[in-house]
Structure 1
Amino acid sequence: MKGIVFTEFLDLVEEKFGLEVVDKIISDSNLDSEGIYTSIGTYSFSEMLQLLTHLSKYTDISIDNLLLVYGEHFFGVIENSYPGLLATYKDPIEMLSSIENHIHVEVRKIYPDAELPTFIVTEKTENSLIMVYKSSRAMHHFGLGLMNKTFEHFKSTATIDLEKIKEDGTEVRFIVHKN
């Protein structure tokens, strides 16, 4: 998992809960990196899972809800770091439907060894989208947070439902209806 995902996560934890909580979740975890991350480094997903698990226990907030807020936060990173990428789109449905064939292609140019989820569009209209998320990491709520902020970016709203295809969350169907 790319280091930027870790550095931004710890920045968000510090912003929302304070530096003491960052120190606590790092010290409570068994991290090969010892909690020292660079944005261009690559780290084990098990480290993120440990940090999330300890933060969830410490704050009494579910991992899904933590991932949702983190996804919303991470959209701001994309907005600030890659405004040209977002500027190529005029509509949130158009942007979301191009995750696999454009956005992830661009991400791989920057981070060639990035392990990204797969998004398969199964149905698309002007105002709706159904796509299937597949990832062994089961971070679909991170994706949901990104989607929420995508609509906000385009000054639009949507109803986004998710249905677990696999109970462990490694395969999820997103059903998006633009309001």
Structure 2
Amino acid sequence: MKGIVFTEFLDLVEAKFGLETVDEILNKSDLKSNGVYTAIGTYEFSEMLQLLQHLSSKTNLSIDQLLLTYGEHFFQVLVNNYGALLNQYTDPIELLSSIENHIHVEVMKIYPEAELPTFEVVEKQEDSLIMIYKSSRAMHHFGLGLMNKTFEHFNSKVTIHLEKIKEDGTEVRFSIYKN
């Protein structure tokens, strides 16, 4: 997993829960990296899981709730760092439907060793989109947070239904409807 995911996560934890919480979740975790992350480094997903589990225990928020909040936070990181890519789109449905064939292609140019989820477009209409998310990491709520902020970015109201196809969350259907 790319280091920017870790560095931004720890920034969010510090902003929302304080530096003491960052120290606590790092110290409680058995991290091969010793909790030292660089944005361009690559780290084991198991480290993110440990950090999430310890933060969940500390805050009494579910991992899904934490991932949703983190996805919403991370959207601003994308706007700040890759705004030109996002500005190629004028509609959130168009942007989301291009994740696999455009956005992820560009991400792979920057981070060739990144392990990205896949998003298969099942059905696309002017005001709706059905996509299947697949990832062994089951971070679908992170994706949901990014989607929420995508529609907000375009000043568009939306209803998003999330349905687990596989109980472990490694395959999820997102049904997205503009309001």
TM over 0.5: yes
1:94 aligns with 2:94: yes
Give the CA deviation at 1:112. Answer: 0.3
Shift in Å at residue 100 of structure 1?
0.2
Number of the residue aligned with 1:42 = 42
Given the alignment of the two structures, is residue 162 of structure 1 paired with residue 162 of structure 2, yes or no? Answer: yes
Q: Please tell me the residue identity of whatever aligns with 1:40.
A: I
Q: How many residues are treated as equivalent by the alignment?
A: 179
**Hey, what's the Cα distance between the residues in 1 that align with 2:83 and 2:42?**
24
What corresponds to 1:117 in structure 2? Answer: 117
Q: Which residue does the alignment assign to 1:53?
A: 53
SS in 2 for 1:159: strand
2:140 maps to amino acid:
H
- 3-state SS, counterpart of residue 101 of structure 2: helix
Match of 2:68 in 1: 68
SS of the residue corresponding to residue 161 of structure 2 reads strand
CA deviation string 1:32-64 (max 9, x = no partner): 000000000000000000000000000000000
2 CA distance for matches of 1:101 and 1:64?
A: 27
Alignment partners' CA distance in 2, 1:45 and 1:102: 24
Secondary structure in structure 2 of the residue aligned to 1:123: strand
| Aligned-residue offset at 1:70 | 0.1
CA-atom RMSD, angstroms?
Answer: 0.3
Cα deviation code 1:14-35 (max 9, x no counterpart): 0000000000000000000000
Taking the aligned partners of 1:3 and 1:61, their CA distance within structure 2 comes to: 24
Task: List 4+ stretches of structure 1 deviating above 6 A.
Answer: none
Distance 1:147 1:41 in 2: 26
**Aligned equivalent of 1:142:** 142
Measured after TM superposition, the shift of residue 157 of structure 1 is 1.1
Query: What TM-score comes out, normalization by structure 2 length?
Result: 1.00
